[in-house]
Structure 1
């Protein structure tokens, strides 16, 4: 039978393509963003204990109270905003599901949603499935290795129309590692002050920021928090990307609509993981020590790449590092990534894959993304191979 696709332009994600290529060619996978090391044994034991203690049936739809309580305390301590654990915090099946639920909760047919490029790949499909229209605004690429990508707020303002319903922000930024500053918040406040625009703030890398300022959450400003879905994830914080446990903090009226979608997408999230994460996250050191942990890995990869023909760029946050390959090849980013995987056995992700049109010259800056959330020996093996490129 004939089937008309709701997402005709969507194929297999670049992450799946490159990971399969890495496996096919026995390449070291520095592409997809997942650690190749285990989480804290204490956390694993806590999951086992939760199972033994009978937490194996459906938990409460919005998430168990102890975990929502821990999140409320953490956000208040770090960002100075007090969310109501009962009406404003929802545990989700990873950040991706929270993003989908938030978009579907507020976006109606014909609504416009501003997407900042390069952008994470789940945003646009969620917008289209909701009947919305993505409006793309490109970030300004760095002019040298000491700069990061940045937003031109005038371009954001110019993209706003009477149909604009939502603006999606993702900082700390994947794939570029860029972070927002207080002046960015000032500009954002001014732009949306007299509008009815909602914000979605994807902050899954909130605890992996290397700048002295730390992470600036949109929840830290009341004018922004009152219209924002703030989304984060335990996967990046606890090295458990496969557990798919995230959460969304938002005002009560927005949370009510999000939960209507959430309950019919997944209903709830595995009980033993929630109980384990509630106990584990009570200890603030489990996330406060992350910047130092990942800074060592970032520096290891950065300094290693300086000894190759790659030119690594500044990395303010996340566990991704961008590098310029212009001294090596004039191939576009996708073709270079495939060549590097096949020929030299190191898989990376082309930054162009995070744009609506990966083949457009404006989407290609001769940059690839390396993931350094790997064992030191994995990074060293990759650097050895890259030294011959």
Structure 2
């Protein structure tokens, strides 16, 4: 009976039983099998700035970060994060007590939820949500309470937050709000009016807030990224999460950070030290240099993504999709019903064979699966020629 367990209990603990393999792994494998263009997973297909890559090489050669870096992160990076927050948003943080470096935003989310949530606490999150949110809330023993962003068609198709629904979701058991703006997968950027209402609710009900702001530099058209921590009463109750992966196109380096008041940073660090302890030593020095790049870098990065957004959005519309043109991120959500389809899972599983393109069904990001059923997400953080070929395939 070797290899058998002694009890009939499943091997995976019940908090994680519902999660299984992520849809990204399944669709990426499908892309490889079929030789399809992978517009499913959100990673760039080219590296970021050469001078940032060289900064990492330099750190490796100079022996900086090859051994365990300091637990909170290397001082150079913490200082650079604080300077970035002040320069961009007028938010002053102490690099020593109010900045914590993490293994990407993914660990920042996990550590923050594990630190701040106890069994029985409710966490209100905007649905559809990035898949790690649900898993991390479950690992912390919390209960997720989704508030659904719904499609609106006033002056262009976009997903909107219903503020009354948000207020109604908060109960005496609510511990924190988990807010993501710019929002993956819908591309929504929360407005000043929406953020003001969220801030007022948090203050009134004395809630903590975690804000995932990893797409802060990818905001288009008239939209503007406004960190929730800048709103009245929010500086002391908000854990803001940032990341180098999305902004500098080095997703494999896994360098993220939180900025928050000292008590919150200390709490999150208590959880983080037993997850990775530390990570990404030499890359931290490189990201410190990246954050100090001139504004022209961030502008050129955004303009490049904007052109790619428009290329893919136009192509998807011409292929018959209903397109929700994103105000931020590098994802486009589409509605497949105009194509005579209504099941995003079936559509995405068949698309590689039909068109040689891989996308992600948005329903995986919903508790209310039916609310997300007809929506499919495409990533446009790819080379222009790749997007042009994908558009050609989809049209045919």
Contact 1:79 1:219 in 2 (8 A): no
Deviation of residue 42 (structure 1)?
1.4
> What is aligned with 2:201?
191
> What is aligned with 1:200?
210
Deviation of residue 380 (structure 1)?
1.0
> What is aligned with 2:22?
13
Equivalent position SS for 1:91: strand
Which of 306, 326, 337 is 1:326 aligned to? Answer: 337
Deviation of residue 156 (structure 1)?
1.1
Equivalent position SS for 1:196: coil
> What is aligned with 1:172?
182
Equivalent position SS for 2:125: strand
Contact 2:199 2:228 in 1 (8 A): no
Deviation of residue 196 (structure 1)?
2.4
Contact 1:145 1:312 in 2 (8 A): no
Q: CA distance change for structure 1 residues 331 and 222 in 2, over 3 Å: closer, same or farther? A: closer
Structure 2: distance between partners of 1:289 and 1:230: 25
Equivalent position SS for 1:113: strand
Deviation of residue 213 (structure 1)?
4.5
Deviation of residue 109 (structure 1)?
1.1
In the alignment, is residue 233 of structure 1 matched against residue 243 of structure 2? Answer: yes
Q: TM-score with structure 1 length normalisation?
A: 0.95
Contact 2:363 2:372 in 1 (8 A): yes
Contact 1:25 1:341 in 2 (8 A): yes
Structure 2: distance between partners of 1:220 and 1:308: 41
Which of 56, 67, 79 is 1:47 aligned to? Answer: 56
In the alignment, is residue 262 of structure 1 matched against residue 262 of structure 2? Answer: no
In the alignment, is residue 211 of structure 1 matched against residue 215 of structure 2? Answer: no
Equivalent position SS for 1:141: strand
Question: What is the root-mean-square deviation in Å for CA atoms of aligned residues?
Answer: 1.5
Equivalent position SS for 2:165: helix
> What is aligned with 1:113?
123
In the alignment, is residue 369 of structure 1 matched against residue 365 of structure 2? Answer: no
Structure 2: distance between partners of 1:331 and 1:291: 33
In the alignment, is residue 149 of structure 1 matched against residue 159 of structure 2? Answer: yes
Could you list the structure 1 runs, at least 4 aligned residues long, displaced by more than 4 angstroms after superposition: none
Which range is displaced more, 95-104 or 189-198?
189-198
Deviation of residue 181 (structure 1)?
1.1
Contact 1:329 1:336 in 2 (8 A): no
Question: What does 1:349-360 correspond to in 2, within 5 Å?
Answer: 349-358=360-369
Equivalent position SS for 2:204: coil
Structure 2: distance between partners of 1:288 and 1:22: 32
> What is aligned with 1:384?
392
Structure 2: distance between partners of 1:289 and 1:212: 17
Contact 2:199 2:231 in 1 (8 A): no
Equivalent position SS for 2:234: helix
Q: CA distance change for structure 1 residues 331 and 214 in 2, over 3 Å: closer, same or farther? A: closer
Question: Gaps spanning 5+ residues in structure 1: where?
Answer: none
Q: Deviations over 1:192-243 (max 9, x none)?
A: 2222210010000000000335311112224122111100110000101111
Question: Gaps spanning 5+ residues in structure 2: where?
Answer: none
Q: Deviations over 1:257-288 (max 9, x none)?
A: 10111111111122110111112221133334
Deviation of residue 95 (structure 1)?
0.2
Deviation of residue 27 (structure 1)?
0.8
Equivalent position SS for 1:289: helix
> What is aligned with 2:323?
312
Contact 1:145 1:311 in 2 (8 A): no
Which range is displaced more, 145-154 or 76-85?
145-154
Q: CA distance change for structure 1 residues 73 and 288 in 2, over 3 Å: closer, same or farther? A: farther
Equivalent position SS for 1:369: strand
Structure 1: distance between partners of 2:166 and 2:368: 19
Deviation of residue 51 (structure 1)?
0.8
Structure 1: distance between partners of 2:203 and 2:184: 27
In the alignment, is residue 30 of structure 1 matched against residue 49 of structure 2? Answer: no
